[in-house]
Amino acid sequence: MTGARHAIVTGCSSGIGRAIAERLLADGWAVTGLSRSETSLGHGFRWLHADLSDPASVAETAVRIDPADALVHAAGYQRTALLGELDPEALAGMFAVHVGAASALANEVVPRMPDGGRVLLIGSRTSTGAAGKSQYAATKAALMGMGRTWAQELAPRGITVNVLSPGPTDTPMLADPGRAATPPKVPALGRLVDPEDVAALAGFLLGPHGKSITGQNYVICGGASL
C-alpha cells in the first residue's frame, strides 16, 4: 500500500460500501475494508474483521490500521416499525452501527489523518422523515449533525467532512426481512438508485476536486424527494 492514497471503508462486503471501495481501488487508492463478512476486492485491498455494532471493538480495530487519507462510513442497516410498535433494541442497534461506529472510528483515525484528508458519512434521504422509519431516520439525521460539527472542527486542518444521502438504492438491504413493513418505492426517475452512481459522487468528494466542499449533505435519490 506504500505510495497510494489510503482509505478506510466500512460496510465493504456489499451494497454502497462495496461500490465505493471498488471505485476507490479503480482510482488508484489503497483501501482497508471493515466488515463482518470477509471480502476480497483484489490488488490494493486489505480486509479486517470488525463488529460495527460494538463501537469499543471498532476503536480497537482502528488502532491497528495505518494512517488513512480518507474515512468512509458506509455500514448500515434498516429496521422499520410504526409508532406504537417501536422496538428500543432496534433503535439502539441502528444507532450503534450508524453513529457509534462512525464516532469511534473517526476518534481514532482522524487525529492521525494527514492534513487535507477526507471524511465521508453515508446518510439517507430518509433522515428528513418517512412513515414507519422514525428510528432509522433519527440515526441518519444524527450523522448530519455530527458531520457538520466535525467539519467545523477540522476545517483548520483542511480536512473535509460531508454526508452522502441516497434514496432507495439497488442493494441487498432492500431485501432485508427487517424492513418488510415498508417496501421501497420506485423514485420519480423510474428506477432505483445505482450504487455505482453513489460511488462516483463519493469518488469526487474524496478526490482532489473535493477540497473546497465541506459540511454538506448531498441527496442522490432518483427524484424520490420531489
Q: Is residue 1 part of a domain?
A: no
Count CA atoms within 13 Å of residue 48 on its CB side: 19
CA distances from 194 to 8, 19, 112, 186 (A): 22, 10, 33, 12
Q: Is residue 96 part of a domain?
A: yes
Q: In 118-159, where does DSSP find H-type helix?
A: 134-154
* Residue linked to cell 462516483: 200
Q: Is residue 90 part of a domain?
A: yes
Range of the domain at 52: 6-220
The active-site residue, picked from 29, 47, 136, 150, is 136
Q: Is residue 70 part of a domain?
A: yes
Q: Is the pLDDT of residue 1 over 50?
A: no
What radius of gyration do the chain's Cα atoms show? Answer: 16
What is the pLDDT confidence band of residue 92, given thresholds at 50, 70 and 90?
Answer: very high
Q: How far is Cα of residue 124 from the mean position of the Cα atoms in its chain? A: 9
Q: Is residue 120 part of a domain?
A: yes
Mean pLDDT of 93-97: 98
Q: Is residue 157 part of a domain?
A: yes
CB neighbours of 87 closer than 8 A, spacing ≥ 6?
79, 81, 135
Q: Is residue 226 part of a domain?
A: no
Mean pLDDT of 65-86: 97
Could you read off the pLDDT of 8-37 as tens digits, one per residue? 999 999 999 999 999 999 999 999 999 999
pTM, whole model, 2 decimals? 0.91
Annotated catalytic, 77? no
Share of the chain above pLDDT 90, in %: 81
Q: Is 113 helix (H, G, I), strand (E, B) or coil?
A: coil
Closest among 36, 69, 20, 26 to 194, alpha carbons compared: 20
Domain count for the chain, please give it. 1
The CATH number of whichever domain residue 140 belongs to comes to 3.40.50.720
**CA angle centred on 76, ends 189 and 210, rounded to 5°:** 65
Could you read off the pLDDT of 122-153 as tens digits, one per residue? 999 999 999 999 999 999 999 999 999 999 99
What is the pLDDT confidence band of residue 168, given thresholds at 50, 70 and 90?
Answer: confident
Q: Is the pLDDT of residue 45 over 90?
A: yes
Q: Is residue 225 part of a domain?
A: no
